[in-house]
Structure 1
Amino acid sequence: MHHKALPEIFRRAKELRNRLTPAEAVLWERLRANRLNGLHFRRQHPIFKYILDFYCHQFQFAIELDGEIHRLKDQIERDKEREEDLKDLGIHIIRFENRFVIHETDEVLWQILTEIEKLKKDFSSK
Protein backbone atom coordinates (compact mmCIF):
# COMPACT_ATOMS: atom_id res chain seq x y z
CA MET A 1 0.00 0.00 0.00
CA HIS A 2 2.87 2.38 0.70
CA HIS A 3 5.42 0.88 -1.73
CA LYS A 4 8.36 1.19 0.67
CA ALA A 5 7.84 4.83 1.60
CA LEU A 6 10.56 6.01 3.96
CA PRO A 7 9.84 7.27 7.49
CA GLU A 8 10.61 10.85 6.36
CA ILE A 9 7.79 10.64 3.80
CA PHE A 10 5.38 9.46 6.53
CA ARG A 11 6.46 12.35 8.79
CA ARG A 12 5.99 14.90 6.01
CA ALA A 13 2.58 13.42 5.10
CA LYS A 14 1.45 13.85 8.71
CA GLU A 15 2.53 17.50 8.62
CA LEU A 16 0.61 18.06 5.38
CA ARG A 17 -2.54 16.48 6.86
CA ASN A 18 -2.39 19.10 9.59
CA ARG A 19 -2.30 22.01 7.13
CA LEU A 20 -4.50 21.29 4.14
CA THR A 21 -4.81 23.89 1.39
CA PRO A 22 -8.27 25.45 1.00
CA ALA A 23 -8.96 23.26 -2.05
CA GLU A 24 -7.83 20.12 -0.22
CA ALA A 25 -10.09 21.02 2.72
CA VAL A 26 -13.10 21.48 0.41
CA LEU A 27 -12.54 18.15 -1.32
CA TRP A 28 -11.68 16.28 1.88
CA GLU A 29 -14.97 17.39 3.42
CA ARG A 30 -16.76 15.60 0.55
CA LEU A 31 -14.50 12.50 0.50
CA ARG A 32 -13.86 11.79 4.18
CA ALA A 33 -15.71 9.11 6.11
CA ASN A 34 -16.62 7.28 2.88
CA ARG A 35 -19.03 10.08 1.92
CA LEU A 36 -18.54 9.67 -1.82
CA ASN A 37 -20.48 6.52 -2.73
CA GLY A 38 -18.92 4.60 0.14
CA LEU A 39 -15.40 4.94 -1.28
CA HIS A 40 -12.60 5.04 1.27
CA PHE A 41 -10.06 7.78 0.59
CA ARG A 42 -6.95 8.68 2.55
CA ARG A 43 -5.53 12.19 2.49
CA GLN A 44 -1.84 12.98 2.12
CA HIS A 45 -1.04 9.31 1.61
CA PRO A 46 2.65 8.24 1.35
CA ILE A 47 3.56 5.98 -1.58
CA PHE A 48 7.13 5.29 -2.59
CA LYS A 49 8.87 8.70 -2.51
CA TYR A 50 5.68 10.68 -3.01
CA ILE A 51 2.73 11.96 -1.01
CA LEU A 52 -0.59 11.72 -2.81
CA ASP A 53 -3.19 14.37 -2.02
CA PHE A 54 -5.97 11.75 -1.90
CA TYR A 55 -5.79 8.01 -2.45
CA CYS A 56 -8.35 5.20 -2.77
CA HIS A 57 -6.47 1.93 -2.27
CA GLN A 58 -9.38 -0.24 -3.43
CA PHE A 59 -8.95 1.06 -6.99
CA GLN A 60 -5.32 2.26 -6.78
CA PHE A 61 -6.66 5.71 -7.60
CA ALA A 62 -5.07 9.03 -6.70
CA ILE A 63 -6.45 12.56 -6.86
CA GLU A 64 -3.91 15.34 -7.17
CA LEU A 65 -4.78 19.02 -6.73
CA ASP A 66 -2.68 21.58 -8.53
CA GLY A 67 -2.02 25.16 -7.54
CA GLU A 68 -0.22 27.87 -9.48
CA ILE A 69 3.20 26.26 -9.02
CA HIS A 70 2.13 23.34 -11.21
CA ARG A 71 2.07 25.67 -14.23
CA LEU A 72 5.82 26.29 -14.04
CA LYS A 73 7.93 24.45 -16.61
CA ASP A 74 10.14 22.71 -14.03
CA GLN A 75 7.15 21.59 -12.00
CA ILE A 76 5.35 20.30 -15.11
CA GLU A 77 8.39 18.11 -15.81
CA ARG A 78 8.51 16.87 -12.19
CA ASP A 79 4.78 16.12 -12.26
CA LYS A 80 5.21 14.12 -15.47
CA GLU A 81 8.04 12.06 -13.94
CA ARG A 82 5.99 11.53 -10.79
CA GLU A 83 2.97 10.34 -12.79
CA GLU A 84 5.15 7.91 -14.74
CA ASP A 85 6.61 6.49 -11.50
CA LEU A 86 3.15 6.10 -9.99
CA LYS A 87 1.74 4.59 -13.18
CA ASP A 88 4.55 2.01 -13.02
CA LEU A 89 3.26 1.13 -9.55
CA GLY A 90 -0.23 0.60 -11.01
CA ILE A 91 -1.71 3.83 -9.68
CA HIS A 92 -4.20 5.79 -11.79
CA ILE A 93 -4.10 9.57 -11.29
CA ILE A 94 -6.60 12.33 -11.96
CA ARG A 95 -5.61 15.98 -11.57
CA PHE A 96 -7.66 19.08 -10.84
CA GLU A 97 -6.70 22.71 -10.47
CA ASN A 98 -7.37 24.13 -7.02
CA ARG A 99 -9.72 26.81 -8.32
CA PHE A 100 -11.81 24.19 -10.15
CA VAL A 101 -12.17 22.17 -6.93
CA ILE A 102 -13.30 25.24 -5.00
CA HIS A 103 -15.72 26.63 -7.60
CA GLU A 104 -16.97 23.44 -9.28
CA THR A 105 -16.88 20.88 -6.48
CA ASP A 106 -19.86 18.86 -7.73
CA GLU A 107 -18.31 18.61 -11.20
CA VAL A 108 -15.04 17.39 -9.63
CA LEU A 109 -16.92 14.74 -7.68
CA TRP A 110 -18.75 13.64 -10.83
CA GLN A 111 -15.43 13.31 -12.70
CA ILE A 112 -13.95 11.30 -9.82
CA LEU A 113 -16.91 8.92 -9.87
CA THR A 114 -16.67 8.61 -13.66
CA GLU A 115 -13.00 7.62 -13.38
CA ILE A 116 -13.78 5.15 -10.60
CA GLU A 117 -16.46 3.53 -12.80
CA LYS A 118 -13.87 3.07 -15.57
CA LEU A 119 -11.46 1.53 -13.06
CA LYS A 120 -14.18 -0.79 -11.74
CA LYS A 121 -14.58 -2.16 -15.26
CA ASP A 122 -10.82 -2.63 -15.55
CA PHE A 123 -10.63 -4.39 -12.17
CA SER A 124 -13.57 -6.68 -12.97
CA SER A 125 -12.05 -7.75 -16.30
CA LYS A 126 -8.81 -8.90 -14.63
Structure 2
Amino acid sequence: MWGNAFLLSVLYLLVGIVVELLRRQFRSPLVERLSMALDSLPARALEVVHGLEPLRAAYFDGRISDLGVRVLFGVVTVVVIFLLALVVGAIMGVLRWAILRAASHRGGPPPA
Protein backbone atom coordinates (compact mmCIF):
# COMPACT_ATOMS: atom_id res chain seq x y z
CA MET A 1 0.00 0.00 0.00
CA TRP A 2 2.73 2.47 0.99
CA GLY A 3 4.85 1.47 -2.00
CA ASN A 4 1.99 2.12 -4.40
CA ALA A 5 1.25 5.47 -2.80
CA PHE A 6 4.92 6.43 -3.00
CA LEU A 7 5.13 5.36 -6.65
CA LEU A 8 1.99 7.31 -7.54
CA SER A 9 3.28 10.39 -5.73
CA VAL A 10 6.62 10.27 -7.51
CA LEU A 11 4.92 9.74 -10.87
CA TYR A 12 2.50 12.62 -10.28
CA LEU A 13 5.31 14.95 -9.23
CA LEU A 14 7.48 13.96 -12.22
CA VAL A 15 4.60 14.59 -14.63
CA GLY A 16 4.01 17.92 -12.88
CA ILE A 17 7.65 18.93 -13.30
CA VAL A 18 7.65 18.01 -17.00
CA VAL A 19 4.38 19.89 -17.59
CA GLU A 20 5.67 22.94 -15.73
CA LEU A 21 8.88 22.95 -17.76
CA LEU A 22 6.86 22.63 -20.98
CA ARG A 23 4.51 25.39 -19.82
CA ARG A 24 7.42 27.75 -19.27
CA GLN A 25 9.01 26.92 -22.65
CA PHE A 26 5.94 26.62 -24.89
CA ARG A 27 2.79 28.63 -24.28
CA SER A 28 0.43 26.23 -26.04
CA PRO A 29 -3.21 25.84 -25.00
CA LEU A 30 -2.75 22.07 -24.63
CA VAL A 31 0.07 22.45 -22.09
CA GLU A 32 -1.89 25.14 -20.22
CA ARG A 33 -4.93 22.84 -19.97
CA LEU A 34 -2.76 19.97 -18.81
CA SER A 35 -1.23 22.20 -16.15
CA MET A 36 -4.68 23.26 -14.97
CA ALA A 37 -5.82 19.63 -14.84
CA LEU A 38 -2.84 18.67 -12.68
CA ASP A 39 -3.47 21.66 -10.39
CA SER A 40 -7.13 20.80 -9.91
CA LEU A 41 -6.49 17.97 -7.40
CA PRO A 42 -4.52 20.01 -4.87
CA ALA A 43 -6.70 23.08 -5.45
CA ARG A 44 -9.86 21.09 -4.65
CA ALA A 45 -8.22 19.53 -1.61
CA LEU A 46 -7.21 22.98 -0.32
CA GLU A 47 -10.71 24.24 -1.05
CA VAL A 48 -12.22 21.45 1.06
CA VAL A 49 -10.11 22.42 4.07
CA HIS A 50 -10.66 26.16 3.42
CA GLY A 51 -7.02 26.76 2.53
CA LEU A 52 -7.41 27.95 -1.05
CA GLU A 53 -8.65 31.47 -0.30
CA PRO A 54 -5.78 32.32 2.09
CA LEU A 55 -3.33 30.90 -0.46
CA ARG A 56 -4.91 32.96 -3.24
CA ALA A 57 -4.75 36.10 -1.11
CA ALA A 58 -1.09 35.45 -0.21
CA TYR A 59 -0.26 34.88 -3.89
CA PHE A 60 -1.93 38.07 -5.08
CA ASP A 61 -0.38 40.07 -2.21
CA GLY A 62 3.05 38.80 -3.22
CA ARG A 63 3.68 36.94 0.04
CA ILE A 64 4.16 33.64 -1.80
CA SER A 65 5.84 33.09 -5.17
CA ASP A 66 4.92 30.85 -8.10
CA LEU A 67 7.47 28.35 -6.87
CA GLY A 68 5.98 28.45 -3.38
CA VAL A 69 2.52 27.68 -4.76
CA ARG A 70 3.95 24.82 -6.84
CA VAL A 71 5.75 23.35 -3.83
CA LEU A 72 2.61 23.65 -1.70
CA PHE A 73 0.49 22.02 -4.43
CA GLY A 74 3.05 19.21 -4.66
CA VAL A 75 2.97 18.60 -0.91
CA VAL A 76 -0.84 18.66 -0.87
CA THR A 77 -0.95 16.21 -3.78
CA VAL A 78 1.39 13.79 -2.01
CA VAL A 79 -0.72 14.01 1.16
CA VAL A 80 -3.94 13.37 -0.81
CA ILE A 81 -2.42 10.36 -2.59
CA PHE A 82 -1.20 8.87 0.70
CA LEU A 83 -4.58 9.46 2.37
CA LEU A 84 -6.36 7.79 -0.54
CA ALA A 85 -3.98 4.84 -0.34
CA LEU A 86 -4.61 4.58 3.39
CA VAL A 87 -8.40 4.66 2.96
CA VAL A 88 -8.38 2.13 0.11
CA GLY A 89 -6.01 -0.12 2.06
CA ALA A 90 -8.24 0.05 5.13
CA ILE A 91 -11.33 -0.78 3.09
CA MET A 92 -9.58 -3.72 1.46
CA GLY A 93 -8.37 -4.93 4.87
CA VAL A 94 -11.89 -4.83 6.29
CA LEU A 95 -13.27 -6.65 3.24
CA ARG A 96 -10.57 -9.32 3.51
CA TRP A 97 -11.28 -9.74 7.22
CA ALA A 98 -15.03 -10.07 6.53
CA ILE A 99 -14.48 -12.67 3.79
CA LEU A 100 -12.10 -14.72 5.93
CA ARG A 101 -14.46 -14.54 8.90
CA ALA A 102 -17.42 -15.65 6.77
CA ALA A 103 -15.34 -18.50 5.35
CA SER A 104 -14.28 -19.67 8.81
CA HIS A 105 -17.93 -19.85 9.89
CA ARG A 106 -18.69 -22.06 6.90
CA GLY A 107 -15.87 -24.42 7.72
CA GLY A 108 -13.36 -23.80 4.96
CA PRO A 109 -11.36 -21.30 2.97
CA PRO A 110 -13.11 -19.03 0.48
CA PRO A 111 -13.41 -20.38 -3.05
CA ALA A 112 -10.66 -19.26 -5.40
Q: TM-score, normalised by structure 2?
A: 0.34
Q: TM-score, normalised by structure 1?
A: 0.31
Whichever of the two has the greater Rg, that structure is: 2
Indicate the structure whose relative CO is greater, using CA pairs within 8 Å and at least 6 residues apart: 2
- Decide which structure has greater helix share: 2
- Decide which structure has greater strand share: 1
